[in-house]
């Protein structure tokens, strides 16, 4: 969850660290801090609250050094206090460390270190880690000075149970950083006479586009002139330098009020990028070379298993509907956080698919590894090139949606649905979908960006609806078939950014319990597109109105309702079933966004949440 930035080079470190933290604040904003090494000593500044609080506090400090580390925190161990903020300094004053992850055996470490005379000033697991490094450094007194720092960190990490992405400073090794990862992302940026370390590319993109994605169990030793990568077992690693394809401007807010608003309106472009170059020459199917599976391989697959968390789990539910509907392959969906602890009887010819925007979601990564351990073919839908899930899956599909900064996912979600819909077509055409049906399907997918643009034109209308309903404390979202997951997503969006209680259900399930909640004070958002079950949904709306409930209906063009049945109507274009969930998701994104704005919420940084969940 937390954000990490490290710097070693010729420039003043503090300004670069603070800039990076501002770009990483979506990963955690309980507190922030930095440590700069200068003249064999640390200057440490830590402050509860947003990065701007830290910026204000640093104005009272010199911070002259050219090597430093920084951190923006999402609290796990210990409350939100200045003392618990990172960086943490060893009790002998020689080491400073920032950490993302959870050290599961920290209490045993702490007990041992207290017995050795080390002092603790915080409630965190991280402080045990930095003091253990100091302990091993003291024991390594006979080791050559050039490797003593690195080997002390290496020896410490061999005792660690849990996850970490760390960057460490040492007063006796000026202008040197040691960093390592296991389960938490860490990236090395290669600049002009400088190196940067970060938990996310967005923190360093203003200074370099050349990066090395560190793998689990790797340690990097960095000076202003060079870097070396080794493993915990001291094996040398040949670095693979990748180039980030997006620019700083892609991660800027521009003229929008919030990143979430920007990303909602970027969806047509994200959809276009997700489709680019992925249709066959005859325009009857999709192409996914990165899956590393032949048509013959797909003919053998008799079940597809999807795992994800949060919004991505909702995308999995849409994938289930579309794949079963068009490809006629059974699909099962599970929460990644539950999968690894269940003894799921996967069939031999199953394809195990995961979805993760960041490619670093710890529960999803653990589920992927469990499936691989049991010998299953794995695949992933990810948005971040070089991410851990993208590297460890047997094959995958990149979304190419561009950086998503807002904590509440929008463009990544609709992009995931698009990829799932294209995948449904891909499998269907290998089985029994006809050429003409495939061509029609592709044409429908290509229309998706323009259909979303038409929905976005209704933003002023949806904003007015939001103003009328922002004072309510409970909402229901109801949909059927492929729009049931969109109802779940609409409820989640409203909860995430407005803090209003909301629930999503299949529309037909309303009378099996949720109807007890209906009153004038609990509006219901209905998805009611034209189709074979339109009248069934209309009947559900009538049941709500009979109990004096207010109704906001999202429907397709040409639909007709009995007079007085709907309090509000949002009309979306009539479209193919393959793209309907994408188009239907946009109104509830806008509704949730405008309600949150009306209530004065911090839309991009909702309380208690962070963008990428990298701790279990």
Residues recognised as catalytic: 2, 611
Query: Which spans in 78-214 are helix H?
Result: 106-115, 126-139, 145-157
Longest dimension (CA), the chain: 87
Q: How far is CA 216 from CA 164, 254, 550, in A?
A: 9, 35, 52
- Output the CA angle 39-44-48, nearest 5 degrees: 170
CA 402 – CA 446 distance, rounded (Å): 19
Query: Which spans in 26-165 are helix H?
Result: 51-58, 106-115, 126-139, 145-157
Strands 350-356 and 227-231: unpaired
CA 306 – CA 326 distance, rounded (Å): 17
Q: Is 62 exposed, middle or buried (0-12, 13-18, 19+ CB in 10 A)?
A: exposed
Contact 542, 512 (CB under 8 A): no
Nearby residues of 551 by Cβ (< 8 Å), 6 or more positions away: 523, 524, 526, 541, 544, 545, 565, 566, 567, 568
Element (H, E) at 572: strand 568-572
540 three-state secondary structure: helix
Element (H, E) at 72: strand 67-73
CA 220 – CA 215 distance, rounded (Å): 10
Nearby residues of 91 by Cβ (< 8 Å), 6 or more positions away: 118, 119, 120, 121, 131, 134
């Amino acid at each position: 969850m937390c954000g990490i930035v490290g710097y070693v080079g010729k420039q003043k470190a503090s300004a670069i660290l603070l800039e990076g933290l501002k770009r990483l604040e979506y990963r955690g904003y309980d507190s922030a801090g930095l440590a700069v090494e200068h003249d064999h000593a640390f200057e440490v500044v830590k402050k509860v609250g947003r990065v701007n609080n830290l910026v204000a506090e640093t104005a009272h400090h010199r911070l002259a050094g050219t090597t430093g580390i920084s951190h923006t925190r999402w609290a796990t161990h210990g409350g939100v206090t200045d003392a618990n903020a990172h960086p943490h300094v060893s009790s002998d004053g020689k080491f400073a460390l920032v950490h993302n992850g959870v050290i599961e055996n920290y209490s045993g470490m702490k007990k041992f270190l207290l017995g050795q005379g080390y002092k603790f000033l915080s409630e965190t697991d991280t402080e045990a880690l930095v003091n253990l490094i100091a302990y091993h450094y003291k024991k390594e007194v006979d080791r050559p000075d050039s490797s003593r720092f690195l080997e002390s960190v290496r020896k410490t990490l061999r005792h660690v149970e849990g996850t970490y992405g760390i960057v460490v400073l040492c007063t006796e090794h000026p202008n040197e950083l040691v960093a390592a990862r296991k389960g938490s992302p860490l990236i090395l940026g290669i600049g002009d006479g400088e190196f940067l370390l970060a938990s996310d590319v967005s923190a360093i993109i203003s200074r370099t586009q050349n990066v090395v994605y560190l793998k689990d169990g790797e340690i990097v030793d960095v000076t202003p002139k060079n870097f070396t990568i080794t493993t915990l077992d001291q094996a040398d690693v040949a670095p693979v330098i990748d180039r980030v394809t997006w620019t700083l401007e892609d991660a800027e807010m521009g003229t929008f009020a919030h990143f979430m608003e920007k990303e909602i309106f970027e969806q047509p472009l994200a959809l276009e990028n997700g489709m680019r170059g992925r249709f066959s020459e005859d325009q009857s199917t999709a192409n996914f070379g990165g899956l590393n599976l032949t048509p013959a391989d797909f003919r053998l697959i008799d079940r597809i298993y999807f795992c994800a968390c949060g919004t991505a789990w909702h995308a999995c539910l849409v994938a289930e509907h579309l794949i079963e509907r068009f490809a006629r392959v059974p699909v099962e969906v599970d929460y990644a956080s539950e999968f690894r602890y269940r003894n799921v009887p996967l069939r031999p010819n199953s394809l195990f698919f995961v979805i993760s925007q960041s490619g670093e979601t710890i529960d999803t990564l653990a589920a992927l590894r469990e499936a691989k351990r049991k010998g299953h073919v794995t695949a992933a839908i990810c948005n971040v090139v070089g991410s851990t899930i993208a590297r460890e899956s047997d094959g995958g599909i990149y979304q190419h949606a561009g950086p998503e900064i807002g904590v509440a996912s929008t463009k990544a979600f609709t992009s995931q649905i698009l990829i799932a819909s294209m995948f449904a077509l891909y499998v269907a055409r290998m089985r029994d979908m006809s050429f003409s049906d495939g061509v029609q399907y592709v044409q429908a997918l290509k229309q998706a960006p323009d259909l979303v643009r038409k929905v976005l034109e209704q933003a002023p209308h949806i904003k007015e609806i939001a103003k009328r309903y922002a004072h309510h404390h409970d909402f229901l979202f109801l949909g059927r078939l492929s729009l049931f997951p969109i109802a779940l997503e609409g409820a989640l969006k409203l909860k995430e950014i407005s803090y209003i209680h909301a629930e999503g259900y299949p529309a037909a399930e309303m009378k099996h319990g949720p109807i007890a909640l209906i009153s004038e004070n609990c509006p219901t958002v209905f998805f009611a597109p034209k189709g074979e079950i339109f009248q069934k949904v209309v009947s559900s709306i009538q049941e709500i109105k009979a109990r004096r409930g207010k109704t906001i209906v999202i429907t397709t063009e040409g639909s007709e309702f009995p007079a007085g049945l709907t309090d509000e109507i949002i009309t979306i274009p009539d479209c193919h079933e393959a793209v309907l969930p994408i188009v239907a998701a946009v109104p509830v994104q806008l509704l949730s966004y405008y309600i949150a704005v009306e209530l004065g919420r911090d839309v991009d940084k909702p309380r208690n949440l962070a963008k990428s969940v990298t701790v279990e």
